[in-house]
Structure 1
Amino acid sequence: MPANLTPDYHKAEEWYRSASTNEEKILALEEMLAVMPKHKGTEHLQADLKRKLSQLKDAATQPKKGGKHVDVFHVPPTGAGQVVLLGTPNSGKSAILAALTNAKVNVADFPFATHAPVPGMVKYEDVQIQLVDMPPITADYIAPGQVGTYRNCDLIAIVVDLSQDVEEQLLILLDFLETRKLLAGAETPAVDDQACPEQGRGGNVLGRKVFCLCTKADIAADGALELAKESCDHPLEFVTISTETGEGLDAFRKYLFDALEIIRVYAKPPGKPADMNDPFTLPAGATVHDLARTIHRELAEKLKSAKCWGTGVYDGQNVQLTHVLHDRDIVELHFG
């Protein structure tokens, strides 16, 4: 029986053959299995791919001989969320990090000044958000292993220099995202068991949420932003800033908080004031019990009751453990 492999499968197969790291090969193999037609004619191929996938995953867990291998592109997430910058040479990525964080970055007028990820912390009100500068990409070069940083982050910011050729930049950046299946919501057969179109989920389960961050707004030609929007064939949101004048930086901080879809919750020990300086950050829609698990997973099983101050409740109201929390709620937990 013929396999009748689809164009999406062949694209994933090409990705696998060009992959330079085991992590990227694993992702490509998972994509090949996801888009492959499931019938008798592909049973042997499915088994072969699963065997290769298993071998690669086993190899990834084995210590390398001759010393410990260090993946320079592995950036441990900290703060309320991890946002990673993606841009072509001299698009202004390092200047963004320098303007918003205390990270030590090399802001230079020559390309490829950044050779490895550089993380920094952006403060929005009382929340810290991790922002990561990355080596630039071109149509011909992407650093081996770089895709893994984008695969593991919460949010990808496409950085476009409005003072340069925006069409060419977007062509390169979107092609990178599309060929690596990094665009959440992009049209692709790669769906998993959790995909649920009725609730807005589904599509590319390997992807991440992406937006377009337009830099150098102070020196951009008239109509550059409109041209960038017209050149983007995906429904991305556009944020415009200038690191030279500071235009848009405060709005950008707020955008990051909103785009991460998180809430702040303040814990109040019984009989004491709430700690309003160090909130817990939770996904929007989190419950009282989710908060307890965030504070202490084992202790959460002993949670008996809770009181809440904030949205939709009166001060100190007793609430169910399934009560959905809102941004800036204060919660007092009682354990048995």
Structure 2
Amino acid sequence: MPANLTPQYRKAEQAYRQATSPQEELDCLEIMLREIPKHKGTDKLQSDLKQKISKVKNDISDGAKKPTSDAQSGFKIPHQGAGRVVLIGPPNSGKSQFLTAVTRATPEVADYPFTTRDPIPGMMAFEDVMIQVIDTPPITNDVMDQNMVNLVRGADIVLLFIDLGNDDCAEDIAAILDRFNDGKTRLANDTYLDEEDIGRSYTRTYAIYNKTDDSDSAGRREWINEVCPIVFKSFDISATTGTGLDEVRDAVFRALDVVRVYTKMPTQKEANFDKPFTIKRGETLVELSQLIHKDVAESFKFAKVWGINVHDGTQVKGDYVPADKDIVEIHC
């Protein structure tokens, strides 16, 4: 019997993936358990949720008894922008150069390995939307930082960098894929939680073939296809020259599947076109008002909308689903 999970469950599930503390995980898991349809087809999922809730409660209880250091609590970066993109890859694969090229961040870029020791965030622009991009420490056979794994779990998209300028690129990528396949946080063509194992998470991943301008890149790509065929959607770039960066930027925005909403006050003639709010496609004015401010959400009465799906100034209720680039005037 199919689970037929509700939108409320899916929303809590997404929040659970992006939780940055045990308490946030617990809150999301309890919502998921409350919202899950109760029938035979979800018996195992309900059982998994209850076990996970019990474990997180124990973790919270144990954590309250122990002093925590910065290293124990993990490296936390607040979510910003329309979505989060996490860069992963082996040493010297070009992640930091990419971050420098598409954001204003200034990570250390050098020819020697492990110049990135901590996650480094930046903001990438696509038209009038800002998207968070986070560079992470490199992954090897022996080193894979747990903080980086947590960032991958909570990401909307992962960019896996493949260094076509390195003779060992196939072995490097095979090692990374093996490390993730052995854990609960995995790379995939889409983002979701495993319904058979609530602790197993999959994050949408794009393969970024960097240094495609290297004279031996074609041969190295063939070797990669033999050693570890890449199943993810892929892009050819040169982080140094900028080739292919616009295509990656466009694909990231499309994959986030958000719509831009421009807002205005009833007393204003023009909307603020500089910084639109972004919500997931299919979300309503209720979610938009919560994003603006909790007071706006609580006092929301109606809105007027200008957009491609309505006549200018049409009055709508909170369940209206905005289209991309709608102008919304909220009345409280």
TM over 0.5: yes
Pick from 132, 136, 139 the counterpart of residue 137 of structure 1: 139
Pick from 216, 225, 237 the counterpart of residue 241 of structure 1: 237
Cα deviation, residue 206, structure 1: 1.9
What is aligned with 2:187? 183
What is aligned with 2:257? 261
Pick from 216, 224, 227 the counterpart of residue 211 of structure 2: 216
Supply the AA of the counterpart residue of 1:252: V
Are the aligned partners of 1:191 and 1:204 in contact in 2 as well (CA < 8 Å)? no
Higher mean alpha-carbon deviation, 112-121 vs 284-293, is at 284-293
What is aligned with 2:3? none
Q: Deviations over 1:252-273 (max 9, x none)?
A: 2222211222111100211411
Pick from 52, 60, 67 the counterpart of residue 57 of structure 1: 60
Supply the AA of the counterpart residue of 1:210: T
Query: Does 2:271 align with 1:274?
Result: yes
Give the Cα separation in 1 of the matches to 2:88 and 2:161: 6
Q: How many residues align?
A: 289
SS of residue in 1 equivalent to 2:202: coil
Cα deviation, residue 278, structure 1: 1.1
SS of residue in 2 equivalent to 1:57: helix
What is aligned with 1:123? 125
RMSD: 3.6
Query: Does 2:246 align with 1:250?
Result: yes
Cα deviation, residue 75, structure 1: 1.8
Are the aligned partners of 1:156 and 1:208 in contact in 2 as well (CA < 8 Å)? yes
Cα deviation, residue 218, structure 1: 1.6
Supply the AA of the counterpart residue of 2:249: R
Give the Cα separation in 2 of the matches to 1:110 and 1:228: 23
What is aligned with 1:4? none
Pick from 306, 313, 318 the counterpart of residue 303 of structure 2: 306
Could you say if the C-alpha distance between residues 310 and 225 of structure 1 is closer, same or farther in structure 2, counting changes exceeding 3 Å? farther
Cα deviation, residue 299, structure 1: 2.5
Give the Cα separation in 1 of the matches to 2:282 and 2:322: 7
Supply the AA of the counterpart residue of 2:107: V
Supply the AA of the counterpart residue of 2:195: V
What pairs with 1:1-336 in structure 2 (closer than 5 Å)?
A: 53-60=56-63, 62=64, 64-65=66-67, 71=73, 73-164=75-166, 165-181=168-184, 182-184=186-188, 190-191=194-195, 206-219=201-214, 221-222=217-218, 224-225=220-221, 228=224, 235-272=231-268, 273-335=270-332
**Larger strand share, 1 or 2:** 2
Higher mean alpha-carbon deviation, 126-135 vs 218-227, is at 218-227
Supply the AA of the counterpart residue of 1:179: D
Supply the AA of the counterpart residue of 2:187: L
Supply the AA of the counterpart residue of 2:294: R
Are the aligned partners of 1:72 and 1:116 in contact in 2 as well (CA < 8 Å)? no
Q: Deviations over 1:89-134 (max 9, x none)?
A: 1111111111112212111111111111111111111111111111
Cα deviation, residue 289, structure 1: 2.0
Are the aligned partners of 1:170 and 1:231 in contact in 2 as well (CA < 8 Å)? no
Could you say if the C-alpha distance between residues 225 and 328 of structure 1 is closer, same or farther in structure 2, counting changes exceeding 3 Å? farther
Higher mean alpha-carbon deviation, 75-84 vs 107-116, is at 75-84
SS of residue in 2 equivalent to 1:207: strand
Are the aligned partners of 2:120 and 2:136 in contact in 1 as well (CA < 8 Å)? yes
Cα deviation, residue 298, structure 1: 3.4
Stretches of structure 2 lacking an aligned partner (at least 5 in a row): 1-20, 30-42
SS of residue in 2 equivalent to 1:315: strand
Could you say if the C-alpha distance between residues 53 and 332 of structure 1 is closer, same or farther in structure 2, counting changes exceeding 3 Å? closer
Are the aligned partners of 1:79 and 1:130 in contact in 2 as well (CA < 8 Å)? yes
Could you say if the C-alpha distance between residues 297 and 97 of structure 1 is closer, same or farther in structure 2, counting changes exceeding 3 Å? same
Cα deviation, residue 292, structure 1: 1.4
TM-score (structure 1 length as normaliser)? 0.74
Are the aligned partners of 1:183 and 1:204 in contact in 2 as well (CA < 8 Å)? no
Are the aligned partners of 2:163 and 2:169 in contact in 1 as well (CA < 8 Å)? yes
